[in-house]
Amino acid sequence: MKLFSTKTHGVLDYTSMVALLALPRTMGWSKHVTNILTASALGTLVYSLLTRYELGALKVLPVKTHLGLDALSGLLLAIAPFVFLREKQNVNKTLLGIGIFEISAALLTDREVQQTNSVAPSVPAQTLPLEDPVRQQAIQQGVQPVMQQENETWASYAA
């Protein structure tokens, strides 16, 4: 078990994407840094939407691949200060920090989506007679009928 679940990692993905878009614009950073952080944010958005985790939309990319892309993105951001030597020191430190954060998040996230233990929905017992094939199929699929006392009707629950 790692520090972050895949669901928590998904929240970090979308939150960091917004931060990567906003940060260089609100801080007035150079066009080069703004372009790099924008590309990183958009890349994160695309592969997050494609990832097979709780917050993915299309669910085609394995979580392990997603985490590898996160680590690669983090590595590129961490080495960016050494490429952009003309940037201010606070910009370079921020890029290094973001890069280290992305690498750390990739290393500290579960590689598998956690399966939740959901409780099967209940069906009022008197809605389906014992011999009803739909009732039998529901029970086979794990839906447990609700036991009720004699002379109680479903209508009394609705009131």
3-state secondary structure of 152: coil
Backbone φ, ψ for residue 116 (5° rounding) = -90, 145
Phi, psi of 109 (to 5 degrees): -105, 140
In this predicted model, what pLDDT tens digit does every residue of 3-29 receive, in sequence order? 999 999 999 999 999 999 999 999 999
Residue in 44, 62, 25 with CA at minimum distance from that of residue 105: 44
HSE-CB for 11 with a 13 A CA cutoff: 4
pLDDT above 60: residue 43: yes
Write out pLDDT tens, residues 44-58.
Answer: 999 999 999 999 999
**CA atoms of 62 and 46, how far apart (whole Å):** 13
pLDDT at 150 over 90: no
Are the CB atoms for 67 and 111 separated by under 8 Å?
A: yes
Query: Rounded to 10 degrees, what is the CA torsion of 124, 128, 133, 136?
Result: 30
Length of the chain (residues) = 159
Residue-wise pLDDT for 71-96, tens only, equals 999 999 999 999 877 899 999 999 99
pLDDT tens digits along 90-136 = 999 999 999 999 999 999 999 999 876 555 455 454 555 556 676 66
Which are the contacts of 130, defined by CB distance < 8 A and separation ≥ 6? none
Alpha carbon 152 to chain centroid distance?
Answer: 44
